[in-house]
Amino acid sequence: MKITTAKSAGFCFGVQRAVDLVYKEVEVGNKVYTFGPIIHNEEVVSDLNKKGVIVIEVPEELKALPKGTIIIRSHGLSEKLQKQLSSYGHIVVDATCPYVKKIHRAVREKSAKGQHIIIIGNRSHPEVEGIVGWCNTNFSSSKSSDYTVIENDFEAEAFNIPKECKVCIVAQTTFNYKKFQDLVEIILKKGYDIFVLNTICNATQERQTEAYQLARGSDAMIVIGGKHSSNTRKLYEICKNECENTYYIQKLDDLDLSLLKSYRNVGITAGASTPNNIIKEVHTVMSEKSFEQLLEEEKVVKINNGDVVEGIVLGVKEDEIILNIGYKSEGIITRSEYTNTPNLDLRTAVNVGDAMQAKILKVNDGEGQVALTYKRLAAEKGNKKLEEAFENHEVLTAKVAAVLNGGLSVVIDEARVFIPASLISDSYEKDLAKYAGETIEFVITEFNPKKRRIIGDRKQLIVAKKETLKKDLFEKIEVGMTIEGTVKNITDFGAFIDLGGADGLLHISEMSWGRVENPKKVFKVGETVKAFVKDIQGEKIALSLKFEGANPWINAETKFAVGNVVSGTVARMTDFGAFVELEPGIDALLHVSQISKEHVEKPSDALKIGQEVSAKVVEFNREDKKISLSIKALEAPEKDAEAEAIDADVTAE
């Protein structure tokens, strides 16, 4: 027969703490009372009774008892009862489980803000009775609307309060997690403004999950615990659903070993109020091993602050990871100790069953759990990586995590690197916001983690890359070559084109065969331009778009031969005439004397910029690229003859 005992079986932290407190008080000789049985286990309660511990059920019993120490059990009490206990002059020791205390604080805070409290759990359980007592600090109030206890689907469906009420949902720490989720879902559908606190103890979740998995793979299950233990009953229900041959016992005497002879795989689990000696006793008898042998086989894990441990993820909440590290308590990684990313939902980053390493911050965080950090361990590894990169001048790649005043912050394995604005680029960067979320390359130029000074430099990579590109560019570039680039900057006198390693200047006079008044109207930053290299002087590259094949003067001698009538647009005017653009790159002079046969004082008296005119070519000089026009020469020759005749008559008279 193979016998497997659940690792989580037995006393949880809260119960162990309460029981230890009672035994400690007994050992020092104090008179000890407990308000209700310290745990739901008759064996433990009976043993304490033999040692003189008295269980009281109501505060008034203390009046007739000698002064001593009264211990509040791990289930907790209402605030009203706690005050009553203190009024009788006894020393009160509060052994309420820290998980339960957390619920008390939460319901008191939310209740004080006017929120309606829903407690999901067994209304007759002492823990729930205690929680109810923290829902309304006004003890004289009997308003039933302050809280509601819900145990099942029927009660969840029937829940009904005014829609404008805000609702806070908590749970009995030992409640079935799956059932809790189902009941919350029913309430959520009602449309209230709801704040849900999953207050089920991590140990309870772990115990229930482990029991479920163990029961699925076993031929029989033994569940050990007190008959009045709520969490043990839930373990029994979970195991019974998965394994028909499940037996609920309180001690070894309750177990009929003959029922187990035919089973090959038997699992053992136990409630949070079951002493370890009972679990060991059951296991010993079933496996025919001595108790001493079991103790020798038991592996006791010892941990210290600062240790690096490896564990398996048992559960993940939005802001918390529960890790099984092989210790008697679970390890907890809060969101702030997992990452520097604000508001990250941890359920999107980690899955149940994942293996992960963490570093111990505190062996006991005050609530019986081990406080762990993943972020700081990752940062240490990240710092090591950054140190190696610093020493080896390694180029690193990372996404910009934040844009700060004066620079950028990037993260390498949770280790932060600051890149000052002056080291981001080889030119002044006015708007750093464009780098948010971008992946960039950089090198570490200063590494001093003790002073939290780890400096990155992106500029030197850009400069080095440009030097390489520049060298490559000047090795292949030559005058007359057509080259492609990107408009980097535009001025009044031209545009600077990034050729991939160096900039070339496209002067305004080289932008077109025609006239360009304003380069900014012709080009835009970022635009791709094809030009040819007109000249190279050292590292200065002059570009041109005046390709010879597009030279308008190639066929101008035919188009604009003397005597041809042509059309054009008045482009500009001077005192002596107007310049008419016949086509881009070819302007012709219309002298003031050739504008009309009538006397024209200045060109602007007869013409306007942009006006279209027709004129006759009266002169063409290809060598000097000069063309002269005349409108006057187009006027009707009849008028000239008539005028000459009139002049002749006048002369004859």
Residues 200, 170 contacting (CB under 8 angstroms): no
Q: Within 13 Å, how many C-alpha atoms sit on residue 5's CB side?
A: 20
pLDDT of residue 169: 96
Instruction: Reply yes or no on whether 127 is catalytic.
Output: yes
Nearest of 369, 394, 518 to residue 447 by alpha carbon: 394
pLDDT-wise least confident of 10-19, 130-139, 400-409: 130-139
Alpha helices in 116-248, H assignment, sequence order: 126-132, 153-158, 177-188, 202-216, 230-242
Output 414 or 633, whichever has higher pLDDT.
Answer: 633
For residue range 13-67, list pLDDT tens digits in order: 788 888 888 888 888 888 999 998 888 778 888 888 999 999 998 888 888 888 9
How many whole angstroms separate alpha carbon 530 and alpha carbon 381? 49
pLDDT at position 145 over 80: no
Residue 288 confidence (pLDDT) = 61
Q: Tell me if 205 sits within 8 A of 230, measured CB to CB.
A: no
Express each pLDDT in 558-614 by its tens digit.
888 999 999 999 989 998 999 999 988 888 999 999 998 888 889 998 999 999 999
Q: How far apart are CA 2 and CA 266, in angstroms?
A: 6
* Contact present, 71 and 18 (Cβ < 8 Å): yes
Q: What is the per-residue pLDDT for 400?
A: 92
**365 pLDDT above the threshold of 80:** no
227 Cβ contact list (under 8 Å, min separation 6): 40, 42, 250
Angle between helices 177-188 and 202-216 (to 10 degrees): 110
Interval 389-414 mean pLDDT: 89
Q: What is the pLDDT of residue 239?
A: 94
Q: Are 145 and 117 in contact (CB under 8 A)?
A: no
Task: Map 271-287 to HEC letters.
Answer: CCCCCHHHHHHHHHHHH
CATH of domain 8-94: 3.40.50.11270
Which tens digit of pLDDT belongs to each residue from 278-321? Answer: 888 888 888 764 444 444 444 546 788 889 898 888 889 999 99
Q: In terms of C-beta density within 10 A (0-12 exposed, 13-18 middle, 19 or more buried), how is residue 102 classed? A: middle
Provide the 3-class DSSP secondary structure of residue 6: coil
Amino acid at 264: R
pLDDT, one tens digit per residue, over 503-538 is: 999 999 888 887 788 899 889 999 999 999 999 998
Q: Is the pLDDT of residue 81 over 80?
A: yes
**542 pLDDT tier (thresholds 50, 70, 90):** very high
Residue 183 to residues 93, 153, 234: CA-CA distances in angstroms? Answer: 35, 6, 16
Residue 638 has pLDDT above 80, yes or no: no
Listed by start position, the domains of the chain span 8-94, 98-196, 308-373, 378-462, 477-550, 556-637
Question: What average pLDDT does range 466-495 have in this prediction?
Answer: 90
Residue 500 burial by CB count (10 A; 0-12/13-18/19+): exposed, middle or buried? middle
Task: Tell me the CATH number for domain 477-550.
Answer: 2.40.50.140
By CB atoms closer than 10 A (0-12, 13-18, 19+), residue 197 is middle
Q: What is the mean pLDDT of the chain?
A: 86
Q: Give me the DSSP letters along 383-435.
A: HHHHHHHHHHT--EEEEEEEEETTEEEEEETTEEEEEEGGGT-SS--S-GGGG
**pLDDT above 50: residue 140:** no
Confidence of residue 132 (pLDDT cuts 50, 70, 90): very high
Rounded-to-integer distance, Cα 497 and Cα 428, Å: 18
pLDDT of 414 above 90: no
Is a pLDDT exceeding 80 seen at residue 636? no
Sign of CA dihedral 521, 524, 527, 530: positive
pLDDT of 642? 44
**Cα dist from 348 to 209, 317, 335, 351, 457, whole Å:** 21, 10, 12, 8, 33
Both structure tokens of 292: 């001493």
pLDDT reported for residue 529: 93
HEC sequence for 323-357? EECCCCCCEEEEHHHCCCCCCCCHHHCCCCCCEEE
Give me the pLDDT at residue 206, please: 83
**Position 137 pLDDT exceeds 80:** no
State yes or no: pLDDT of 454 exceeds 80.
yes
State the CATH class of domain 308-373. Answer: mainly beta
Examine domains 98-196 and 308-373 and report if their fold is the same.
no
Per-residue pLDDT at 223 exceeds 90? yes
Question: What pLDDT, on a 0 to 100 scale, did the predictor assign at position 301?
Answer: 62
Average of per-residue pLDDT across 162-167: 91
Q: Which of 25, 127, 129, 330 is catalytic?
A: 127
Percent of the chain with pLDDT over 90: 41
Considering the segment(s) 378-462 as one domain, its CATH architecture is Beta Barrel (2.40)
- pLDDT at residue 258, rounded to an integer: 77
Q: What is the CA radius of gyration of the chain?
A: 46
pLDDT band at 419 (very low <50, low <70, confident <90, very high): very high
Please tell me the CATH code under which domain 556-637 is placed: 2.40.50.140
| Position 94 pLDDT exceeds 50 | yes
Considering the segment(s) 98-196 as one domain, its CATH architecture is 3-Layer(aba) Sandwich (3.40)
Q: How far apart are CA 614 and CA 489, in angstroms?
A: 40
